[in-house]
Amino acid sequence: MSGPVPQTTALQDVYTAESLGEQGVRWNTLLEKFQETYGTSAEFVARSPGRVNIIGEHIDYSLYPCLPMAIYPDVIVAVSSTAASDEPASTTGTYKLQIANVASDRFPTREFDVPYGDVEIDATKHEWTNYFKAGLRGALELLRKKHGQDFKPRSMKVLMDGTVPAGGGLSSSAAFVSAAALAVMFANGERDIDKKALTEVAIVSERAVGVNSGGMDQSASVFSEMGSALLVSFSPSLSARPVFFPKTNPELCFLIAQSFVTSNKQVTGPIHYNLRVVEVSMAAAVLNAKFCPGTELPKDAGPLGVSLRGFHDNYFNAQQKDGGGNAKPLPEQLAELIEMTKSALDKEEGYTVADVAALTGTTVEDVKARFLSSFPVRGEFFKLRQRALHVFTEALRTQQFLALLEDTTQHPPAAAPSGGTDDSVAYNQRLGSLMNQTQDSCRDVYECSCPEIDQICGIIRGAGGYGSRLTGAGWGGCSVHLVPADKVEDIKKALVEQYYSKRTVSDKDMEGAIVVSRPMSGSAVVTLD
Ligand code: NG1
Ligand code: MG
C-alpha cells in the first residue's frame, strides 16, 4: 500500500462525517491563529495521526509484524514558506524556522536561524521543537539526495496543534515527526511524497531525538487508511497492508483509556525502553552463537543493527539448506524458537556483560561497544530469557490474531443480523483472550506494565470487555480494550467510578482520558486556497 501521501482540499477526506463539525472549528482556529501570529495566511496543513497498537507489543524493533491502527487524535501543522534568498538572512547562510503551538502556554514560541548545513538537535534537552527539527533534518536528507548537497531549504512559519496526549502511549512523537517531515517536504515543492520514504525518514529522525525506536508508530501514522487496521512488517523490508475486522454481533470497538501515569522515554529510556532494545539484541547474539555456530548474526534494520528476527531467519534458512525442505509456516517456526529459548537461556536472574561475552565468544569490551555504546542504557543483569520469550510468544499471538481476522473459516456466522449469537461472542472472546495474554506477558515477562494499567485492565474486563492491555511502550501511558459497542457506556462509567475519580485529573485531561476510535486515515496534506 505504498504510493504518494494523499493531498486534498476537503476535510471529509481526512475525518469521519460525525467528527467534521468539531474538526472544522479546530482547523479554523488554527488558521485564524496563524494569521494572527504571523500576519500572513497559511498555505497548507500537514496532518499525521496518533496510533494505538492492537497487538504485537515491543516486537517491532525485533523486526516482527505488528498490528496498529491510526486513531482520531492527531497533529496538524499549518505552514507558509518563503525562499530564503528573498530574505536578508540569506546572506548569513541560514534560513529561518519560526515555530509556534496553539497551546503556547505549554509549548512556547521559538525562532531559529538554521544553518544550511546540518540541523542541530540537543537531545539532552527536553524541548518540544526538537521533534519538528527531527522531521526537518530527515526531510532535508531526502531533499538533498534528490536536489544535490547545496539544496537551500525555504524559510518556514509553522503553527502546530496536537490532540495526541504527550507521553501517553498514543505516539504523539511519531505523529509530530511525521507531520513535520511532511510539512518540510511539501513546503519545499515536493508533491508526490512517497509514503514509504516518509515513514523511513520519520523513523530515523525520531532516533535523532535520543530514542532507539522501532518503526511501528511512524508506519501507522503515515500508512493507515480509514476503516482498517494496518499490518506492518519490517522484514525483509518495511511494508504495510490493511487488515479488516469481520462483522460481529455484538459489534466490536476499541476503547483507549489513559492511565495518567506519564512515562517519558527521554527520561526513563536507559532503564526501560533502551534497555529492552539492548536485551533483545543481546539475546539474538547469544541464541545465534548457540544454534548457528560459526555464522555471523546478520546485520539488519534492528536499532542496534541486529535483531531476533535476524537470528530467526539465519537459523531456519540454514535448516532449509541442510535438507529441511520447504519453509515451515511462521507460527510453527515461532513455536520452535520458544522451546529453544526455554532450554538455551536458562538463567532466570539475567546475564552479565561478561556472560554475554563468554557465550558469544568475544570480549567484554566488544559486547559493550556493540550493545551499550549508541544509546544511554543502565543495567547490570540483562534478562535475555524473559525478553526473548516475550518477543517470540507475542509474535506468535499476533499471527494467531491475524489468522482469526483473515481466515474466514474462523469467522463467526456472517448472517447474524440481530441479537448476539454464541458464535459471535465466542469469536470476540478469542480475539480478546489473545490481547489479555499479551497484557500478562507484558506485565510478567517483559516487565513493561505498571499497577495502574493492570488495574484499568481489570476494571474493564469486569465491566464486560473482551480483551484489555497496555498499548505502546508501557510503564504508564495508555491501554487499549476490545469491547462490545453496546457496553461502551457501562465501561466508561466503571472507569470513572473505580479509577479516574480516585485520582486528581483536571477537566481538560479528563476530556481525552477515554477515546473510542475507529481505524482512521493516515498522513495527508490539505491545501488551502
Ligand atoms: P510509544 O512509546 O508508545 O511511542 C514505543 C515505540 C514503538 C514500539 C512500542 C512498543 C517509539 C517512537 N515507539 O511506542 O516503536 O516499540 O514502544 O511496542 O519509540
Ligand atoms: Mg513515542
In this predicted complex, what is the ipTM?
0.96
Average pLDDT over every residue of 369-388: 93
Report CA(473)–ligand 1 centroid distance (Å): 5
Contact 460, 468 (CB under 8 A): yes
Helix, strand, coil fractions of the chain, as percent rounded to 5: 45, 20, 35
Q: Residue 105: pLDDT above 70?
A: yes
Write the CB contacts of 303 (distance below 8 Å, at least 6 apart in sequence).
61, 207, 212, 213, 214, 277, 281, 375
State the average pLDDT over residues 90-99.
84
Taking the alpha carbons of 400, 401, 402, 406 in that order, is the dihedral positive or negative? positive
pLDDT given at position 87:
62
Q: Quick check: 482 pLDDT over 50?
A: yes
The Cα 250–Cα 262 span in angstroms is: 34
Quickly state the pLDDT bin for 59 (edges 50, 70, 90).
very high
Return the pLDDT at 92: 67
Which distant-in-sequence residues (6+ apart) come within 8 Å of 339 by Cβ? none
Compute φ and ψ for 2, nearest 5 degrees: -75, -160
Residue 510 has pLDDT above 70, yes or no: yes
Reduced to 3 states (helix: H, G, I; strand: E, B; else coil), residue 25 is helix
Ligand 1 atom closest to residue 58's alpha carbon, by position in its atom list: 18
pLDDT for residue 383 is more than 60:
yes
The C-alpha cell at 199 is: 515513514
Q: How far is CA 528 from CA 38, 42, 199, 461, in A?
A: 16, 8, 24, 45
Could you give the strand order of the β-sheet that contains 94-101, starting from the edge strand earlier in sequence?
Answer: 7-8, 524-527, 44-55, 67-82, 155-162, 94-101, 110-115
User: 198-240 pLDDT, tens per residue?
Assistant: 999 999 888 777 666 788 999 999 999 999 999 999 999 999 9
The pLDDT-based confidence of 315 (bands split at 50, 70, 90) is very high
> What is the pairing mode between strands 94-101 and 155-162?
parallel
Q: Whose CA is closest to atom 7 on ligand 1? A: 214
Task: Give the model's pLDDT for residue 86.
Answer: 65
C-alpha cell at 283: 539475546
181-196 mean pLDDT: 96
What pLDDT, on a 0 to 100 scale, did the predictor assign at position 457?
Answer: 98
Please tell me the distance between residue 518's alpha carbon and the centre of ligand 1 in angstroms: 20
Q: In whole angstroms, what is the distance from residue 500 CA to residue 324 CA? A: 55
150 among known catalytic residues: no
- Ligand 1 pocket at CB < 6 A: 53, 57-58, 60-61, 169, 171, 173-174, 206, 211, 213-214, 216-217, 265, 472-473
Residue 320 clears pLDDT 60, i.e. is over it: yes
Number of residues that this document lists for the chain = 529
pLDDT at 430: 96
For atom 2 of ligand 1, which residue has the closest CA? 473
Please report the pLDDT score of residue 358 as a whole number: 98
Largest CA distance in the chain: 73
Q: How much is the pLDDT for 517?
A: 87
Considering the chain, what percentage of its residues have pLDDT values greater than 70?
95
Mean pLDDT of the chain: 92
* pLDDT tens digits for range 386-427: 999 999 999 999 999 999 999 988 888 764 555 566 788 999
* More confident: 523 or 265: 523
In this predicted structure, what is the pLDDT of residue 285?
A: 98
Q: What is the pLDDT of residues 237-285, one digit of tens each?
A: 999 999 999 988 888 999 999 999 987 766 788 889 999 999 999 999 9
Q: Residue 514: enclosing H or E segment and its boundaries?
A: strand 514-517
Between the CA of 266 and the centroid of ligand 1 the distance, in Å, is 12
- The stretch 283-289 carries a mean pLDDT of 98
Q: What is the dihedral of CA 519, 523, 525, 526, to 10 degrees?
A: 20
432: exposed, middle or buried (C-beta count within 10 Å: 0-12, 13-18, 19+)? buried
Q: Residue 195 pLDDT more than 80?
A: yes
- 165: CB partners within 8 A, 6+ apart: 73, 172, 258, 509, 512
Cell (9 digits) for 276: 529492552
Interatomic CA distance for residues 105 and 124, integer angstroms = 22
Residue 140, pLDDT score: 94
- Cα separation, 277 vs 384, in Å, equals 11
pLDDT for the residue numbered 124: 81
More confident of the two residues 15 and 414: 15
Choose the residue to mutate in 54, 60, 199 for probing ligand 1, maximizing ligand atoms within 8 Å of C-beta.
Answer: 60
Relative to the CA of 172, which ligand 1 atom is closest?
4
Pocket test for ligand 1, best of 57, 217, 446 (most atoms within 8 A of CB): 217
Per the residue annotation, which of 60, 217, 300, 313 is the catalytic one? 217
